[in-house]
Structure formats: C-alpha cells, structure tokens
Structure 1
Amino acid sequence: MGVNEGVTVDGTVAAGWEPVREEFAAAVAAEPHSPEAQLVVHHRGRRVVDLWAGEDTDGETLSGVYSITKGAAHLVVALLVQDGVLDWDRPVSAYWPEFTGDGKERLTLRQLISHQSGLINTDEGFDYDEIADDALIASRLARQKPFWEPGTAYGYHAFVIGALTGEVVRRATGRSVQEVYEERVRAPYGLDLYLGLPASEEGRWKPVLEMLPTPEQRAAQAASGPLPDLLAVAFNAHREPPMDLIVHANHPRTRELGPASAGGMGSARGIAGLYAAAIGAFDGRAPLLEADTVAEVARLHTPGPDAVTAEPDHFGLGFKQQPAAGPQAFGHSGAAGAQGFADPVTGVAYGYTRRRFGFPGGAAPENERLTAAVLEAARAV
C-alpha cells in the first residue's frame, strides 16, 4: 500500500471512461510521495478525462513540462512543411548559410529534426541563462564540431534540438518558433501550453518538485555509476557544476523565453489539447495536420539504437515513437514524467503531467498503464 492511498482524485470523466479514473487513482496511491499529477484525454475532439491529484495541484496548474515542448515546436515545423515554407529534404544550410563545415552542410531538415546532426551540445556546455536562449545556442552550435559525422547516426539532442530546428524556422519565416507557435497554435486554440510564460499566467505556475527516490532506488542509482560520455554531454552534465534539471525547469529565464527543446510551461489540458488539434476537428476548427503529414511525422526515421540513450527505434520527425499507443501514434515525453501523444487510429489525444520528478526520469512508468486503460476505453465507447 502506497503512502498516498487516501489521496483525493479530483476532476471528471465521461461515461465509459471510469476505468481510466480508477487507474489514475491507483497510480497516484502507489507513489511514495505525491506526484502532483494531471491527466487529460480527448477522444475524437471531445474531452472525456480531466483529472488531477495532489496537495498543491489542480486542473489549472501550470508547470515545467520539459521535452513535451519538443512536440509543440515540431508541430510548427510540420505545419511549415505542409504549407510549403519548409522542405524536409532541403539542406539546412540552404536556410541557414552559417550551418556548414564538418559535414553539416549536407544535412537535410529531415535528418536534423530526427536527431542526426551530432550537435548534441557544445564542448563547454551552457549555463542556465544560456540554455534558455535558443538564438545563442544555435549560433554556438553552428560553429561546433559534431560529435559524429552528420547523417551517419542519431542520438537524442535533449536540450538543443529545438534551438537548431527553431533557427531554420527563423531563417525561413523571420519569426521565432515560439512566435509562430503562439500565432498558429497556442492562441487560436487557447491552449495551456506556453513557449514563454506570460506574466498574466504566473499566478497559476507551480515549480517542479525534487525527485525523492526510495532507498532501493538510490542504491540502484549509485550502483549504475557515472553517465556515459555522450549522455552526459547531451544532458549538459559534462560541465562543472553539471546542470540540475529541476533548477533549469524552475529558472526565471526558462519561464520567460520558453526554449523550444525543454522549456515549455503547461498543463495536461494544454498537452492533450495540442495533440487533439493536431489530428482532428477541435474547438470548431479543422485539424492542424493533414493525414499525409501525420503519417510522415509518425513514421520511424531512426531504426537501431540511439547513440546517446541507447533506446532503439526512437524517432519519427521531431516526435518520439509511441509503441504503447500504436504504430501510427506520435508524441513526446518529458523528463519529470510527463507524456503527450496523438493516435489517429483511435482518435485519442493524451496529456499527462507530474510536478514531482519521477525516478529515474523520462516518461513515468505509470503512463503505460494509463495509456492501456485509455485505449481500452476508446475502443469500447
């Protein structure tokens, strides 16, 4: 029995979705510390699950969602390709002439957005102010020697991919990816997922909370030893002192600038709404993405192991594969445990957040059980 056995789950579910509420309550109860979590699901454009739990979290709470941000930023890239402004198979250097040397000039946008550039960080890394500044990151990476020959391997560009793809957006449109996202996606749909938190929303923001692993988890972490070299570089842990992920998410510059790799602030409502708008009619509007675009961004582009994380078969175009949801689903996770995805087959759009940083990080394990409950309910209604 978890210490949260008596925690209250608030919110609503539509008829037929009660098993999702039960699974959410079980996941929260099993935690040794309150995860301060939210879960929202849309089904074919209708919100059918809207739940939250925790001592200091409600359905309106906004917090750092880490790499969920990549999904928002790369939805913008997909929209611009769909519009004909960008071309997946055009060299990045055609948009960004300074992106050259060491094989960078041959890299296409398709390869860049699927984490194949080798530019996972600079040799010296970034401090907290710098890693919140996408323009600064892009300018430094344009001069950086890649950690592998571009286009010959792939590996997670954890804190820089949004700066790289965002610079392509800026060169092609004259607008930052944050500005295009605000104008084309967030504002029209009223989404609580921000790339740059307005001052008017600061009152709803709550910090990401520290990881509190069990003694057994601490022992396992200690036994695993230091991070592998490329993993440390990609997560900005190769500098002294190593970057603290929680400090990054809670940093005022991160909230202000909304770096496109991992600096978004939002809620499960915002995440689920983003993916609902991507694949289906939402809020009286047509889907953002056409069926062919959805199929292309979801299609596996990186077979084999990730050179940074060692995960297999990792990426489509800017989005992660979603094996628990199905082969046509696409989305992204966030370091504290968040998860967002769309599945065009079932019409499900899923958003999950937790403010308590889960162990060991990445998509929290309860997402698999929650996803299974959601898909079962979707197929039954």
Structure 2
Amino acid sequence: MSGNASVNGTVAAGWESVRDEFAAFAAAEPHSPEAQLVVLHHGRPVVDLWAGEDTDGETLTGVYSITKGAAHLVVALLVQDGVLELDAPVSRYWSEFTGEGKERLTVRELVAHKSGLINRPEGFTVEELADDAGIAAALVGQKPYWEPGTAYGYHAFVIAALTGEVVRRATGRSIQEIYEERIRAPYGLELFLGLPREAEGRWKPILEPLPTQEQLAQMADQPAPPALMPIAFNWHTDPPMDLVAFANHPKVKELGPASAGGVGSARGIAGMYAAAIGEVDGRAPLLKPDTAAEFAKPHTPGQGLVTPEPDHFALGFELMPGVGPRALGHSGAAGGVGFGDPESGVAYAYTRRRFGFPGGAAPENERLTAAVMKAARAAG
C-alpha cells in the first residue's frame, strides 16, 4: 500500500489546521497508517478524522497502553471516593504483598511504577498476560528487580494487574467491572476492557510495522536500551513476545487486561478523557480538580530504569509534554496517544492500526498536538 492515504471525516470551523496537519502526515507516510484522530473541546466534538483504506471512524482496534489511562482513571475515582488511600501500604489491602521490601511500598509508589515487579524471570505467555488476576498471583511472591520504592521503571504489561489487585481486594471487583459500570457504559464509550461480542464485527487487527531503510538505519545508530527494558516488555522469552500478535490475540480482546489489552476507537478514548476532565452531557467531571491534579503531577523525577525517557510518569498516567502540567494521558505501543487537559478543555485521541516503528507515541503526535492546542487557544 502506498502513501497518500485518503483522509475522511469532519472538523469544526476554526480547526481546519488540524485536518491539514493530519492530511500532510498521512500523505507523507510510505504506508497508510490506518489512523483515527478525534478531539473534543469542552465536551464538544471539533475533530473527527480517519485515514486509510480499511479504517473509518467506527473501527475498533487494540490500543495497547492507552488502556492504562482507563485503568488508572478507575484508581483515581476510588481514591477520590476514599476507598483507596494513596499513602497507605499496599499490604493494607493485599496482605500477601510482603517480603523483599514490598511491605514498605505505598499505593502511591505502586501506581508510580516503583514496585520493581516488572516481570518474572521466565516471562509470561500471551495467554497469561491476558489474565490480570493470574499476573498478580504470579508476581506477588517474586523478588523485585530493584528495591521497592527506591526507583521507578515502566511496568509495561503488569502495572494495572498489580494496581488492579489492590482494587479487587479493596472493593471485591475488578478494574474492568468498575470501569464498565462507572465510566464506559454511562457515557456510551467505545473503549472496552473486554470486547463485547456485538462489537466484534467492527474490530480490525493491528498491522505489522513496515519501517523504511532510513528508519532502520536511525535505529541502528541508537544507544543500547536499558538492560531491564527487554524484561519489562516480555522480550526476554524464547521466542520474544510479538507485540502485534499480543493485541490481536483472541484472549486479550476477550478479557481486556488493564495494562495494555483495551480495544477501542479514537472517539472512545477522547470521550473518556472529556468525561474525566470536564462536563459532558450535563454530567459533572468524573474527577474533581484536586484529584485530577494529584494524578497528573510528576511523582518520580529523574531517569527510569526501564525506558530511556526521564521524568516520565505521573500516577498511572504519563506526563504530556507540550500540552500542560495538569494533563492526564497515556500513549500506546502502536503509536497512539490519548489525553485530557483541564486547562484548555481539550480531550485528544489518536490511534494507529499500522504499528508505528519502532513503537510508542508516534512522532506525528507532536505536530498534531501542537495544531490542536493552537486551535484550542484561538477558540478560547
């Protein structure tokens, strides 16, 4: 498939520059990204675009770690409700969470990727990674890869299994169940933690990356990744885990593991963040300003032990450079990003079915986000 992917959809008056930026990058890609871009401004849809020959505005696909935003929105709600206390030890809720310094770890530190329980030495199969309760049971007795609470590192496939076990012990219910009841169903969001059968017909698979020779050459010149990165991403197994196969696996779609197994559309992601930060359809924001600010602020400055980006995490969410200090968001491995910014009223979602090379927030997000934020400032 060649570049120049067709762009379809709508933009509100004053947001045409966002469409121009989206069309420019889609045309420049050597292979169609099969992408969606949706923006809500103060709860009002202003951008709803898609590009590709086999993707439209209703297409559902794997969204990888964008799922973490949904999972930790649940955690934030439970903190707001007083059900969870951030500075309580994890062991208050999960009694088996002890040994090797785990008993000193607080819920705040756990949510901030500081437990050190990034995987187990033998890794997990894809089927095992689809089962959050099974991951938690397997990791609780493991020796952490660093002393808990002393450093942070991305718990790529397990963070929401660990925080989800705290949720389950405190409430008797899973993150997936609470998300469905309190967030997805009331707002009719097409972001699922467990794809229902009636939506299966709109699901389309993640597509393999097709890097250019230039991209491969650039990667060859990059410094070696941190030693713990292959472990956290489950690449230390034999054979290494295939990220594309993970998102497309039937068990992952069915169970919706809360770290990286969500299925949805840009409309669903943007709708979730719009509901989190602002009034939607007469409903008050899901998060009160103090709660949103607490979960958006950086908690662990400095270099992480897993990925090379410094100053990377808030509480369960990633920091959103170029957006604002109060933005809540998270990227996904295929290239997508979702965020909500209370200061500007912007809820942004970008998805890709063509896995971006080499993975993580695709570079076009920087240009798209800049165009969105400029249009939002102009709109007031």
Q: Scaled by the length of structure 1, what TM-score is found?
A: 0.98
Match of 2:316 in 1: 318
- The answer to whether structure 1 residue 77 and structure 2 residue 92 are counterparts is no
Partner Cα distance (1:144, 1:374) in 2: 44
Partner letter of residue 39 of structure 2? V
Match of 1:343 in 2: 341
Partner letter of residue 3 of structure 2? N
Per-residue displacement from partner, 1:136-164 (whole Å, max 9, x unpaired)? 10001101100000000000000000100
| Cα RMSD for the two superposed structures | 1.2
- The answer to whether structure 1 residue 135 and structure 2 residue 133 are counterparts is yes
Per-residue displacement from partner, 1:211-239 (whole Å, max 9, x unpaired)? 00001222333455875420000000011
Partner Cα distance (1:209, 1:89) in 2: 41
Partner Cα distance (1:20, 1:118) in 2: 40
Match of 1:4 in 2: 3
Residues 71 and 332, structure 1, Cα contact 8 Å, conserved in 2: yes
Partner letter of residue 11 of structure 1? G
Partner letter of residue 98 of structure 1? E
Partner Cα distance (1:57, 1:226) in 2: 35
Partner Cα distance (2:60, 2:71) in 1: 18
Match of 1:255 in 2: 253
Q: 1:201 aligns with which of 195, 199, 202?
A: 199
Q: 2:16 aligns with which of 12, 15, 18?
A: 18
Match of 1:95 in 2: 93
Residues 94 and 169, structure 2, Cα contact 8 Å, conserved in 1: yes
SS of 1:349's equivalent in the other structure is strand
Output aligned runs, 1:30-69, within 5 Å. 30-69=28-67
Partner letter of residue 254 of structure 2? E
Q: CA deviation at 1:241?
A: 0.7
Output aligned runs, 1:1-381, within 5 Å. 3-5=2-4, 7-222=5-220, 224=222, 227-381=225-379
Residues 132 and 254, structure 1, Cα contact 8 Å, conserved in 2: yes
Residues 3 and 30, structure 1, Cα contact 8 Å, conserved in 2: no
Partner Cα distance (1:32, 1:224) in 2: 22
Partner Cα distance (1:172, 1:365) in 2: 39
Runs of 4 or more, structure 1, over 6 Å off, are none
Partner letter of residue 99 of structure 2? G
* Contiguous gaps of at least 5 residues in structure 1: none
Per-residue displacement from partner, 1:3-38 (whole Å, max 9, x unpaired)? 523x32111111111100101101111111000000
Partner Cα distance (1:169, 1:119) in 2: 17
Partner Cα distance (2:25, 2:282) in 1: 34
Partner letter of residue 335 of structure 1? A
Partner letter of residue 349 of structure 1? A
- Report % sequence identity: 73
* Contiguous gaps of at least 5 residues in structure 2: none
Per-residue displacement from partner, 1:142-195 (whole Å, max 9, x unpaired)? 011000000000000000001000000000000000000000000000001000
Per-residue displacement from partner, 1:339-373 (whole Å, max 9, x unpaired)? 00111111000000000000111000000000000
Partner Cα distance (2:276, 2:350) in 1: 17
SS of 2:150's equivalent in the other structure is coil
Residues 95 and 168, structure 1, Cα contact 8 Å, conserved in 2: yes
SS of 2:239's equivalent in the other structure is coil
SS of 2:39's equivalent in the other structure is strand
Partner letter of residue 8 of structure 1? S
The alignment of Structure 1 onto Structure 2 pairs a total of residues equal to 379
